[in-house]
Amino acid sequence: MKQLLSFLLFLIYFSTYAAEVSISGKAYGIKNTELDAVIIEDYITNREKLLASCKVDNSGNFNLKAHISYTTKLILRVNDLNAFLYVEPNKNYIISIPQTDTFPSIGNTTFIPIKIENTDKNELNHRIAQFDEKYNKFIDKNYLHIVRKTLYKPLLEFKAQLNKEYSNEKNTFLKNYVFYAIGSLDLMAKRKKENIYNEYFSNKQVLYHHPEYMNMFHQFYEKYVLKFSLTKKGKEVKQIINAGNDYRALFNIMGKDSLLLYDNIRELVILKGLLELYYHEEYNQKSILSLLNEIKNNSSFNEHKKIAANIIFTLTRFKRNTPAPQFTFTDADGKNISLNDLKGKYVYLQVYTSWCTSCIDQMMMFQNLQKKYGNKVEFVSISIDRDEKLFKKMLPKTYTWKILHCNTIRQFKDDYNIKAVPSYFLIGPIGEFIEAFTKSPAEGAEYVIANYLKEKLSIKGQTIPGESEILIKK
C-alpha cells in the first residue's frame, strides 16, 4: 500500500512539475546516428546534462521527446554539430537542420542555424530573434558611445522604446530575456553599481536557469569575492577561506557588502568566488573544497547544493590520483584493448581526429617517444572519428604504439571532458590520473614524462632512458 501511494505521489509530482516537449524534423546530410538534447545544468560551472536522445534514421528524420519543468535553452548535438532553440513545456517543434560540409572545431563549439518550420510571429524563438536583431543594431549604431563611455543617454532612449514595446509582455521568459540583456548594456554604460543592483537584483527572484540573467550575474559579480577580500571590510576573507572550517564566518563577513544583502545572492556569489579562487596561488585548495562541501551538505537553497556538488566534481574529476574512467576500444585489426589492459605502465594518451592536421603532426612524434620510453610508458592514440573507415584510411603507414578507435564517442568525451583535439592525458600504472590535459609532444611532453619517471625510479636507483639528452636540451 505504501509503495502504491509513493508511486502515485511521484506521478502527481512528475505531471505537475515536468511536461513533455516534442522536437521532430529532418537533419540534412545526416543519417543513422544519435541526436542528443542537452541542457546546461547550472550556469556557474556550465556543466551539461543529457536530457534525451533519439535516432536519426536513414533518411535524416528524427523524433525526440523530452520532459522539462520550465522554459529553457536546449542544445541539440549530432555528429559534433550543435544547434540550439528555446523550448517551452507542452510545445511541439518541427525543425530542419541544414547540411554542412565543414568540419566543426570541437574547441570552439560550432553552432549551426536551424529552421523552425511551425513557427509564427508569437513563437518564442521568433520573438527572441526579433529582439536580438534590435539589440545588435543598437550595439552597431552606438559602438563609439561604448568606446567613449558615453552610452548612457542613447541607452535611456532605447530602454524607453523597449519598455513601451514589452511592458505588457505575458511571456515571462521573454520579458526577463529583454530585461537582463538591457542590464548588460547598463553595465557597458558604466552606471553606478548600487543603481544597477537596485534595478536588477535587489528584491528580485534569482533566475538560476535563465541564460540572460546568469550572463548579467557573471558580469556584475566578476571576481567579486577576490575584489572584496582586498577591501578594508573584507580583509579577513582570505584567512577565513584558507582556514576552511568556518563557512558561517565567510557568509557573515561577505554580508558586510551592500550588494550582497540577500542570502541567496550572497551564497551564489560565494560559490562563484570559490570556483574562481581554486587555482589562485594564495588560496588553499583543500580549504576551498571543505567550504564547498559545507554548502553542498547544509545550504538552505537546493539549487546551491547542486551547484556546489557540480563545482566539486569539476575541480576534482581530474585531480592527481583520481581513478581515470575506464574504456575499451578496438585497434585497426578489431582487437579490444582496455585501460585495465595497460596497467603496470604509465599511459600517455592522445585523443585525436583524422581531419585534425595538428593531431596528425603531433602523432608523428610518438615513434621517437615510444622508442625511448616504451619499456615504462604505453603510448596510445584514440580516434574519435565517427567514421571507422576514415579512421582506418588515415592511419600512419608505420607505427609502433597503440592506435584505437572509440566506438562510444559521447560517453568518452563526457568522461574525459574532451572539448578540443588534440587532448593529452598522463595516467599512472594503477589507472589513476597523473596529469590531465598535459603537454603535447611539441610542447614538451617528454619533460613531463621523464620527471614523473624520475620521481618513481629514483627510489629504485634506476636511470631514465634518454634522460641525459633531455638535460642537455634544458
Give the residue extent of every domain in the chain: 17-118, 125-220, 224-316, 328-473
Instruction: Indicate the pTM of the whole model.
Output: 0.84
pLDDT band at 9 (very low <50, low <70, confident <90, very high): very low
> Are 142 and 153 spatial neighbours (Cβ–Cβ below 8 Å)?
no
Structure-derived torsion over alpha carbons of residues 181, 187, 189, 192, reported in degrees to the nearest 10: 130
Average pLDDT over residues 164-169: 93
pLDDT band at 106 (very low <50, low <70, confident <90, very high): very low
Cell of 354: 583524422
> Are 306 and 43 spatial neighbours (Cβ–Cβ below 8 Å)?
no
Cα–Cα distance measured from residue 270 to residue 249, given in angstroms and rounded to the nearest whole number: 12
Cα–Cα distance measured from residue 425 to residue 407, given in angstroms and rounded to the nearest whole number: 19
> Residues of the chain with pLDDT > 70: what percent?
90
What are the tens digits of pLDDT across the range 42-100?
A: 999 999 999 999 999 999 999 999 999 999 999 999 877 889 999 999 999 999 999 87
Cα–Cα distance measured from residue 351 to residue 359, given in angstroms and rounded to the nearest whole number: 8
Q: For the residues of 419-436, what is the DSSP string, one character each?
A: -SSSEEEEE-TTSBEEEE
Cα–Cα distance measured from residue 402 to residue 235, given in angstroms and rounded to the nearest whole number: 54
pLDDT over threshold 60, residue 6: no
Confidence (pLDDT) at 456: 63
Same fold? 17-118, 328-473: no
What are the tens digits of pLDDT across the range 211-246?
A: 999 999 999 999 999 999 999 999 999 999 999 999
> Are 466 and 446 spatial neighbours (Cβ–Cβ below 8 Å)?
yes
Which residues pair with residue 224 across a beta bridge? none
Task: Residues 17-118: name the CATH superfamily.
Answer: Carboxypeptidase-like, regulatory domain (2.60.40.1120)
Q: Which CATH class is domain 328-473?
A: alpha beta
pLDDT over threshold 60, residue 462: no
Mean pLDDT, the chain, whole residue set: 90
Residue 303 neighbours by CB under 8 Å, 6+ apart: 42, 206, 208
Q: Which residue has the higher pLDDT, 72 or 409?
A: 72
Phi, psi of 227 (to 5 degrees): -65, -40
